[in-house]
Every structure is written in C-alpha cells, then in structure tokens.
Structure 1
Amino acid sequence: MKCSFQNAWSLRKSLVVVHLTFNLILGAIFVPIFAIALRFALKFAEQPALADFDIAFFLLSPIGFFCFLILTGLGLFFYFLDLALVMALVQRKQLSEDVGLWKTLFVVLPKAPKIIELGIRLTLRILIICSPFIATATAFYLMWLTEYDINFYLTVKPNEFIKAIVVMGSVLALMAIVLFYYFIRWSLVLPLVLFEKISPRQSFKTSRKMMRGSEIEFSAQLILWFVLTLFIGVIPFGVLAGVVEISAASLASNLKILALFLAISATLAALINLATTSLTTGALANLILEQAGWPNKSNLQGLPNPRWAVPTGIGIFLATLVSVGFAFSEMAQLNPDPNVQIIAHRGAAGSAPENTMAAVHQAISDGADWIEIDVQETADGEVAVIHDSDFMKVGGENLKIWNATRVDLERIDVGSWFGSEFSEERTPLLGDVLAAARGKSGVIIELKYYGHDEMLEQRVVEIVEEMGMVDQVKIMSLKFSAVQKIRQMRPEWNIGLLASTSLGRMWELDVDFLAVNRTTVSHHLVRESRRVGKNVFVWTVNDPVSMMRLISLGVGGLVTDEPAMAKKAIADRRELNMIERVILVMANLLGLEVSTKVYRDDAP
C-alpha cells in the first residue's frame, strides 16, 4: 500500500494532467454523446419524454431494457475510462517509459468499444446478482409497509417501519457483501481488456482464475485503500464543508460578503478534490496492476507519438472552449430580475399544518402568487384537500380518504400534530380553498391518485367552473394520462405535468407548464421550456441560497413551504451583481444550504 501511494505521488503532476484531461473529454465530448444516445432510446418509447412511473414501465419492456443496458454501459465506460487512463500512465511509469499525455491516450482510446462492452457485461452481471435480493426486500416492504400511506411511515416511524428497515437493510447489506465478493473476483477485467488481447467476455473468467486464493488478501488491500482515501480526501473536504456551512449561516444576512467567502471556499474545494482524486486513483490503479502482474508490458514499450495526438488535443481544447463559452453566454442572457412566481406548497406548510385553511390564509398573508394543494375524492363524492391516502400522518386515524365521508372530514383533527393552536383545523374541501383564495392568490390543484379515483377530473372541473375561477386555477398531476384527460375535457385550461424524475425533452409534451424536483432541474430544461412558452416550477425549495440558484436558472416559479422567505430572497437577489449571483449558484451546486429548519415532508 505504501509503495502504491509512493508511485502515485511520484506521478502527481502527470496524474493531475490526465485527470483534468479526462474531465474535459467527459464534459465536452462524451456527455453530449450520452445525451444523444438517451434521445435515440426515447424514440422507442414513442414519447419525447418520460417521467416517474412511465420510466419504470419503459425499462421493463424488452426494448427499454436493451436501451437501459446500452446507456448504463456508456455510464460505466466513463468511469472505466478515467481508471484506464490512470492505469496506462502507471503502467508506462513501471516500464520507465515516457508518461506523456498523448501516449497515454493512444493506449486507451482505441480500446473504447471494448471498454463499453465491458461496462454492459458488468451491468448484466450486477442485475443478475441483485435481482433476488431486491425481490426479497420488496416482498418485506409489501408485507409490512403498505397498510398505511408511506408518508405516515416516513414521518412517524412506527415499530413495523423500524422492523422493516432493519430486515430490508440486512437483505441489502448481504447483497452488498455478495457484490463486493464478485467485484474482487472481477477486479482484473479492465487491465486484461486494456493491456492483453482478451475479450470483455473472456476477461471475467480469466480474472476469476487469476484471483483464486487471493480474494481475502486483495479485499484487505482495497479496504485499507478506501480508509486511506477517506483520510486523505474526505476528511479535509468534510472539515472545509463544515466550516463553510457554519460560516455561511452566520454570513447569510450579508450576501456580498457571503459570495466572496464562497468563492474562496469553492476554489479550495476544487483544489482538494483534484489533488486527492488524482492521488488515490493513481494508488488504486497501481494496486490492481500489481495484482494483475503488470500484464503484457511489451504492448506498451516504444510506442510512438500518434499522428492524431495534436489534432485531438486541439479538438478537445476547442470543444471545451465552446462548452464553457456557451455556458457563460447562456448565464449572461438570463433575465437579471425575472418575474418569479411564489407557490405556497400545500399552503404555507412551514408555518401551519399542510393543506388546511390555516395554511391557505397564511400563504395569502405572505403574498404567495399561487397556493398549491392536493385533492382526492371521498366516499360520498366530495373533493377533499389532502395529500396522503389516509389520515395516519396528519390525524392519527387509519381511514383511507376514499372510505371517508364529509362527516369524517369534519370530525378528524388534522392540525394538532403541527401545534396545539391548530387543534380546530379540519380537512377542507376544494370549494373552501377556492373561496378563500378568490381575487387574492391563484390555486394550483394537484390531482392525487392512489388507484381509487372515480370521477376526480370531472368533479374538479365542475367545482372550478361553478366557482367562476377558471382563470385563477392551474391543474397538474404526476400521472400523465390524467393530464391528457383534463386536456381533452378542457383544452383551453392551464395544465401541467408534475415530475420527480424525467428523461428526454419534457418541453415537447402537450402541457402548459412543468413542475419538477429541484434536484433534477437543469438550465437546459428551463431554457428549452421557456423557448416554447412553457413555465418551469421547481419544488420544494426552502433555502434562500437554493432559491437564488433556481432564479438564476430562469425558473418561472418556486414551490416552497416558506413563501415569505421566497419573497425576501427575490428582493435580496436584486441587490447582487452578476458575479455575486454566479458565485451563489456555484456554491449551491456544491451542496451549500443555509436553512437549518427541518420540514416534515417535501414531496410534491
């Protein structure tokens, strides 16, 4: 282990250059290739985009599974490529050969098709190994965690939830151990494909044979390498992150000073990451090659500089310049003071119990442009405002909403869980919320489906029209078929698709707006959606720095439990210059948030 890190340290300059080059190739060339492959795969789904459950259904189809293998193989290829470049560098150093960048690329890039095939074959093996464990864990989930709404289990954490987590966690831990055992046996596949004339298919068998009897010793080496990697990289980075988190909270009131502090911190973080990743990856490559016996050294001796070295380098450099220039030009074109709409998530759910009249009135008082609510049908045909399928989380009663009547809604206390002062709160009807919001805030109605809806779309349409609030209402759902149904019923209404995850060109779907998870929103999605006249709303955002990043992306609305905070963040951002805004964007991308409040539920 000492020797491996010493060898990596002696190559530190070359390792940094190779690692930087890999990231340039990744961002400028291979990520666009991956995006093109994804777009081609969606052609088979006959949709420009897929969201949430539609993704799962597509992947379970034969053509979807085939596309999944190709895309996963490409993804693993990106990881293998980085390690392969480092291996080639370490291998040439072992031979006392020139360790220049171009000769290293010359060793690796011609093997790219085989590395992709290796990634696909590895994916198949992982799926075969994991399937029985995942099926077992799913069976325990269905056995113990389906009596009540999942949000109740996640919030209250009853005994059966703890039992299920322990059992399912044990199953998945065993799966991880089995996977680790096989990964040890397959640990030599990459150098065998890279440096020997061994096919990806044959490399797994050859690796198992070569590793026989050495599994325990090599496992110990990898575990020790992992511990040292944590010590060398994660601990310094963690200390820096902790300092940033504590300092940022105290500097949040002065965003100009915060921006300068974050610029310095981000630079330090980038340098730490580059140095430690280069060093630890070099040590890992050295360990694997040592275990493989430094395969077929003759393949690397006396390699000339390839003719395509200089043109390739120029191409990578130009592609990087174009990518960076495009990114900055797009950022510069963002509206410095966009008309961002504030959308109160289930009312002002940070200040009052969700989906209650108290939360609705608080959202109106806070100046929210829109109030987002969830609606479902009751047993007697009412449209109730409630998120979960039952009352366990908000009322402590095991009653499904589709089995409840108006009498039950008036009886069950849905506010005391938030605070004793809300003990009089009851589940409101859609008409109650519309009446309270009329002329003050718009209302975004999310249609919730748990498999028991009968006439939800029709009933919502009738209530909105009866209240005369068509122009003050938007309709959305996670279920795209429901969105299409509303479109057929009322083509002129403002209708949107809600998505936790998505693939493809969401902006081409027949909707008027998109509501997406803040972890999946991208500038590309926002830009293309705005280009075709569609707004993008992002949920659930309860941190001012995150809000400012999303505003900089150009989103049309912030779905938040804290509408008053959002209003202040929009005002504060107007006082910052472009550089300060960019710094806050980059800091948030690195994971910085300045909110310390814990929210009960940030699901859509």
Structure 2
Amino acid sequence: MVKVFRFIKFAWGLLKYNIGTLLVFEILYKFSMAAIFRPVLLAAFRLSLKVRGLYYLSDENIGVYLKGPGVWIILFLLLLCLAFFTLLDICCIITCLHASYRKQKIPLLALLRKGTLSALNIFKQKNWLMILYLLIIIPVTHFALISGYISSFELPEFIFEYIQSHTLLFIVYIAFWVYIGYRSFHWIYSIHYFCLEKASFKEGRRNSWILIKGHFWKDILVLFVWNGIILGVYYGIIMGGAYLISAINRAMASSDLFSSLTLSGVSILLGVMGMLYFCFCLSSVYLCISMLFYYRKATSGEPITGPYDDLQNAYRLQETKWAKKLYQYRKRIIAIAVVAALGINFIYSFGEKKGVIDLGLQSDIKITAHRGYSEMYPENTIPAFKGAVEIGADCIELDVQQTKDGEIIVMHDSNLKRTTGVDKNIWETTYDEMKYLDAGSWFDKKYKETVIPTLDEVLTYTKGKIRLNIELKPTGYETDFEQSVVDIVEKHHCQKEVVLSSMKYECLEKIKEINPKIQTVYITSVSLGNFTVLDAADGYSVEAMMLTQKFVNQAHRAGKEVLVWTVNSEDSMERVLEMGVDGIITDKPAAAQKLIYQKKHSGLWDQYIEKLLGLQ
C-alpha cells in the first residue's frame, strides 16, 4: 500500500508543475487534429479515386485501385502524416512531463516547439522503422493509446469466425499477436530515449531493452493495472452520473417530456466522457510510462537528462494582453464552448439517425437467414431452408453456381471439398456426378443423407413461404448464367419473391437487361465512395465492419436499400440497427429476432441502461 501511495505522489509530482499547459495542449491538439485530419483524409481518398478514374471502391475494383502508383504515394503520405502527428503528441507529453520532473514551468509554445523538433527526427533515414512501430506496435501493445489517432485493429466478423473455426489457424493468429506484443513491449521506453536523449530509434530500442531487463513482467503488470484504473474511473463517472439521472427520472416520472429530456442527459454524459477520454487517454498512459522510465533509470544508476536550459526567455502566451482578456472571461468562454460542442454533437448525431430520442419512424428490419438457418443446419441445404421458414425469418440468403452441364445448384464454395469431401471444382463437374454427394455429414452425422439442392428445387419448396436473396457467384466458366437463373425464377413466377445479388456488377446489368422488374443488390465488403452511380443495383449488401452511417444515409437518399452481412454478435447487431439499415444477414436469425423484439418493446430508459451495462 505504501508503494501505491508513493506511486500516486510521484504521478502528481510529474503533473503539478505543468498540468495547465498539458491540459490546454491536449485539448487544442486533439480537437485540431480531429477537425483537420478527417477532411484531409477524405480529400486524399477522393483524390486517389480520381487518379484511378473511379467513383467508388469495392471488392470488384480494389485490384484496379491498388495498381496505381499514385494511390500508393498518397497512402504512404497519409501513413507518414499519421505517424508524425501521433509521435508529435507523444513527444510533447514526454517533454512536458520531463519539465515537471525537473521542476520547470514550460510555456505552451515552448512545449510545441520542443515536441515538434523531436518528432521531426522521424524523417531521418535511420528512424524510418519507427513509422511501423507507431502505426502497428502501439495499438497492439498499449490498448489504451488507441483512443488518439490510431483506431483499434479489428478483423471483419466473417474473417475472424473463419479463423476461429480452424484451430491451427486460430493458434497461429493468437501466437502472432502475442509474439508481436512480447517483443515490442521491450521497446516501451524507446520514444523517451528518442525524445529526451536525441537517440536514434535503433539506439532507443536497444537502451529500452537494457533498461527493462529483469523488470519486464513487473512493468507490464503496472501498466496493465494503470490502464484498468483509467477505465475504472471513466466508467465509474458514467455509472455514477447515470444513477443521478435515473433518480431524477424516477422523481419526475409523471412528465413524459421531462423524462425524455432527462434521459438525453445519459447520451450527453457519454459524449462528454468520450471527449475527455479522447483528449487525455494518451497523456495518462504516458504519465505511467514516464514514471516507470525515471524509476528504472534511477535504480539502475543510469543518468537522467537534465533540465531544459532555454525556457527562461520562452514566449509566454499568458503574458500577452489578449490572453489576459481571455483569462478574465474564461468561465463564460468555457461555458459557451462546452454548450456549442455538445449542441453540434447532438445535431450531428441526430442527423445521422443516432439521436437520443427514438421517434419510432424507422421501418421494420428484415432478418435474412445466411445460407438458411446455418447455425443449426448444414448451410445451403433444404433442411437449413426449412429451419429458416420454421423460425419465421423474413428471407433466406443462398448462393448459386453453374455446373459443367449448365445446371444451377445451390453452393457457396466453388470447390466441393469443404461440404462434401470431394476435391472437385463445380464448373468441372456435371450435376449427375454431384447430385448424390453427402452435403450434410461435415456439419453433423444425422444429416448424412442431405444432398446439394438445385435452385429449381429450392424455389419449389420456398414459393409462397419466404423471400429469397439469391447470390450469383460466377467463376468465369459459365454459359448464360444470369439468363438461366432468371428463367428458373420466372418459371416459378417468383419475380416479386426474390432478390438477385452479386459481387460482380456485370451480373446485375445483365439481369436488368433480361428482366428490369427483378430487384437486384450489389454485394461488397469494401464500401468507400459514391455507389449511387450503380444504376443496375436497387440496393447494397455491405460487410458489417465496413458499414458507415454516411454510406447508409447516402444510399437511403438515393432510394436504395442497405443490407448488412454477416452479423452474428449482439454488439454488431446493435451497431448496425442503430444505423437504420433495412435488413441484416445472419447465421443466427433467432437471436436477431429476439434482439429486435426487445428493442421494439423496451422503453427509452431500458435501452440506455442496456448501453451502460454493455459498456458501449
């Protein structure tokens, strides 16, 4: 316990001399970067599309996009800027804390000047590896740092599920990140050497490795506990504030309007705490790292950089007339700034269908069973389709391909091995050769007699029972593929009961030429740019992790529907539902139905409590 109090006392010692300077710098810097970097990023992306003569970026044209040397130059410059501004922030934090360690007052402009001069060393050839460290290593090893400019690394759900389903692949995946984290944590003090002692990144890594030797696991534990305290304070304030709001809500329960406005306070509280966390998370974490750095240097007998010798004549903003005037009215300015920031945030959120008060204007969300009820039955088979009908799904998503002899069968993979055990490509196999193959035992032995269905068989069963989202998966070996699919649909008079979708836009164009009345959907996992130029698509089906509110709004303004795939976790379901999508494609249609029912029949307060308890 004594050590804990000493640690806290040391932390306050590193803060008290320049806490005002650090707070002002972090607020101004973070909000300036948020205001500048996002539009610059969007402008650079639009420029890169223009360079390649594209309007949008999808799975289909990403290869064309990445072949342009101009695109790579733009991407490299963006990554370089991202690395530099991240390093600049860290260098300014370290510089400010070091001035406090030496009991020096450091003015804001002097802090920015010294931090900038240190960060500029990244452009020296011997420090280029630091760019990789800043962009990849920091988010992996120091999870609390990602609230600054670096987004957390998260795989798309369908990719992660694929990795999890293959034991060896999952072990390799986990082992890779553990190894990266283990090796890179040895470099934790390298930026301090880089910033304070003007060492190259190579020298900083070596010195950090030596300094942490013998204390590796202890320092990891300290930083882990420190991060836990930061998050504990963050969520503690949120839960405490929510409790007070709930007390007010109970006391004024007779007024529905006041109740709604009071509940909006929860959203404001979350917004304020989110902004504070965004501004000060990085500095709070580097406060801990700096304390460990000085402690390890002192105990090892390694000399610590002395005080700055050029701060006496540094330009001090607070001594200027206009700064004194601002200080005189500081309370009014702060109040106006907070109200303006919250007001703009509320308007922006409400405009993007993230408003605090749910007006109940959103249309019903359609639940599509991915490859049938594939959580409980073998995918793309009649049992899976029957299961989807029985639980009351709104639609079934299925995949169709063409065999060597022109038959349209229901199968996702272009090779038969995963679901039947036969290592043959579909386009090289006739339907007679595959129609008796066992397509169910791979899922469960009780489905041993299950076979690969044809599209004709599926429509015979589903007609009048459920809608279908039929994905055409061309391999390049087909003959009149689109015509064959449309012919089968028209044969069963199911034009109004199906949607034909594909990742190949050319397929949709051909379908519209054959029968313009059939609804079409363009599928993509990469969804950047203006997709409304795709006239042959009546809607879009987007991978969940890539979906943005801007994309949904843009599609809806153009009169297009937005479906999202493959949404299996509750967190993902809630995220896309809040965006106002028209339908979700999931392996777990029953769970999706339950979640939507709960949201429809829960009050405002219930929804906010769920958010808080979910720590979202």
* TM-score normalised to structure 1 length: 0.71
When the two chains are superposed, the root-mean-square deviation of aligned CA atoms in Å is 5.0
SS at match of 1:58: helix
Are the structure 2 counterparts of residues 448 and 396 from structure 1 closer, same or farther at C-alpha, using a change threshold of 3 Å? same
1:388 pairs with 2:388: no
1:365 pairs with 2:390: yes
The answer (yes or no) to whether the contact 2:90–2:283 under 8 Å persists in 1 is no
The match for 2:288 among 269, 272, 283 is 283
The answer (yes or no) to whether the contact 1:378–1:402 under 8 Å persists in 2 is yes
Matches within 5 A, 1:148-547: 157=166, 188-189=193-194, 207=200, 211=204, 214=207, 216-218=209-211, 220=213, 225-234=219-228, 278-284=283-289, 294=305, 297-301=308-312, 302-305=314-317, 318=340, 321-330=343-352, 331-332=354-355, 336=360, 337-450=362-475, 452-486=477-511, 490-510=515-535, 511-544=537-570, 546-547=572-573
The count of residues paired between Structure 1 and Structure 2 equals 534
Are the structure 2 counterparts of residues 269 and 425 from structure 1 closer, same or farther at C-alpha, using a change threshold of 3 Å? farther
The gaps in structure 2 that reach 5 residues or longer are 137-158, 236-249, 251-262
Matches within 5 A, 1:62-77: 62-77=69-84
The answer (yes or no) to whether the contact 1:155–1:393 under 8 Å persists in 2 is no
The answer (yes or no) to whether the contact 2:406–2:478 under 8 Å persists in 1 is no
Cross-structure match for 1:252: none
Cross-structure match for 2:585: 559
The answer (yes or no) to whether the contact 2:96–2:111 under 8 Å persists in 1 is no
Separation in 2, partners of 1:565, 1:384: 29
Are the structure 2 counterparts of residues 125 and 526 from structure 1 closer, same or farther at C-alpha, using a change threshold of 3 Å? closer
Are the structure 2 counterparts of residues 547 and 393 from structure 1 closer, same or farther at C-alpha, using a change threshold of 3 Å? same
Are the structure 2 counterparts of residues 63 and 120 from structure 1 closer, same or farther at C-alpha, using a change threshold of 3 Å? farther
Separation in 2, partners of 1:369, 1:119: 58
Once the 2 structures are TM-superposed, how far is the Cα of residue 272 of structure 1 from its aligned partner? Answer: 9.4
Separation in 2, partners of 1:361, 1:401: 25
The answer (yes or no) to whether the contact 2:371–2:380 under 8 Å persists in 1 is yes
Once the 2 structures are TM-superposed, how far is the Cα of residue 69 of structure 1 from its aligned partner? Answer: 0.9
Separation in 2, partners of 1:119, 1:495: 52
Cross-structure match for 1:10: 13
The answer (yes or no) to whether the contact 1:184–1:215 under 8 Å persists in 2 is yes
Post-superposition Cα deviations, 1:491-515, rounded to whole Å, max 9, x if no partner, equal 5542222222333344554432121
The answer (yes or no) to whether the contact 1:343–1:558 under 8 Å persists in 2 is yes
The structure with the largest alpha-carbon Rg is: 2
Are the structure 2 counterparts of residues 90 and 294 from structure 1 closer, same or farther at C-alpha, using a change threshold of 3 Å? same
Post-superposition Cα deviations, 1:438-492, rounded to whole Å, max 9, x if no partner, equal 2222211112245655543333233223333222222222344544554565555
Separation in 2, partners of 1:118, 1:43: 32
SS at match of 1:358: helix
Separation in 2, partners of 1:393, 1:464: 28
SS at match of 1:73: helix
Once the 2 structures are TM-superposed, how far is the Cα of residue 557 of structure 1 from its aligned partner? Answer: 0.4
Post-superposition Cα deviations, 1:404-443, rounded to whole Å, max 9, x if no partner, equal 3222332112123333442222111112222222222221
Once the 2 structures are TM-superposed, how far is the Cα of residue 568 of structure 1 from its aligned partner? Answer: 3.0
Are the structure 2 counterparts of residues 469 and 529 from structure 1 closer, same or farther at C-alpha, using a change threshold of 3 Å? same
Separation in 2, partners of 1:574, 1:212: 55
* TM-score normalised to structure 2 length: 0.70
Bigger Cα displacement from structure 2, 207-216 vs 395-404? 207-216
Once the 2 structures are TM-superposed, how far is the Cα of residue 17 of structure 1 from its aligned partner? Answer: 6.8
Identity, % of aligned positions: 27
The answer (yes or no) to whether the contact 2:189–2:205 under 8 Å persists in 1 is no
The answer (yes or no) to whether the contact 1:478–1:498 under 8 Å persists in 2 is yes
Are the structure 2 counterparts of residues 88 and 411 from structure 1 closer, same or farther at C-alpha, using a change threshold of 3 Å? same
Cross-structure match for 1:195: none
Are the structure 2 counterparts of residues 520 and 16 from structure 1 closer, same or farther at C-alpha, using a change threshold of 3 Å? farther
Post-superposition Cα deviations, 1:146-183, rounded to whole Å, max 9, x if no partner, equal xxxx999958748xx66x976x9989998889988999
The answer (yes or no) to whether the contact 1:442–1:473 under 8 Å persists in 2 is yes
Which amino acid letter does the alignment assign opposite residue 565 of structure 2?
A: W
Once the 2 structures are TM-superposed, how far is the Cα of residue 89 of structure 1 from its aligned partner? Answer: 2.2
Are the structure 2 counterparts of residues 412 and 482 from structure 1 closer, same or farther at C-alpha, using a change threshold of 3 Å? same
Are the structure 2 counterparts of residues 49 and 462 from structure 1 closer, same or farther at C-alpha, using a change threshold of 3 Å? same
1:576 pairs with 2:598: no
Separation in 2, partners of 1:346, 1:28: 43
Separation in 2, partners of 1:120, 1:69: 18
Separation in 1, partners of 2:540, 2:445: 37
Bigger Cα displacement from structure 2, 354-363 vs 399-408? 399-408
Are the structure 2 counterparts of residues 490 and 17 from structure 1 closer, same or farther at C-alpha, using a change threshold of 3 Å? farther
Are the structure 2 counterparts of residues 515 and 124 from structure 1 closer, same or farther at C-alpha, using a change threshold of 3 Å? farther
Once the 2 structures are TM-superposed, how far is the Cα of residue 50 of structure 1 from its aligned partner? Answer: 0.7
1:36 pairs with 2:43: yes
Once the 2 structures are TM-superposed, how far is the Cα of residue 381 of structure 1 from its aligned partner? Answer: 1.4
Are the structure 2 counterparts of residues 106 and 156 from structure 1 closer, same or farther at C-alpha, using a change threshold of 3 Å? closer
Are the structure 2 counterparts of residues 62 and 454 from structure 1 closer, same or farther at C-alpha, using a change threshold of 3 Å? farther
Are the structure 2 counterparts of residues 153 and 87 from structure 1 closer, same or farther at C-alpha, using a change threshold of 3 Å? closer
The answer (yes or no) to whether the contact 2:385–2:396 under 8 Å persists in 1 is yes
The answer (yes or no) to whether the contact 1:395–1:414 under 8 Å persists in 2 is yes
Separation in 2, partners of 1:449, 1:568: 35
Separation in 2, partners of 1:35, 1:112: 28
Matches within 5 A, 1:580-599: 580-582=606-608, 584=610, 590=616
Post-superposition Cα deviations, 1:165-217, rounded to whole Å, max 9, x if no partner, equal 76x9989998889988999877755568xxxxxxxxxx8xx615864973631
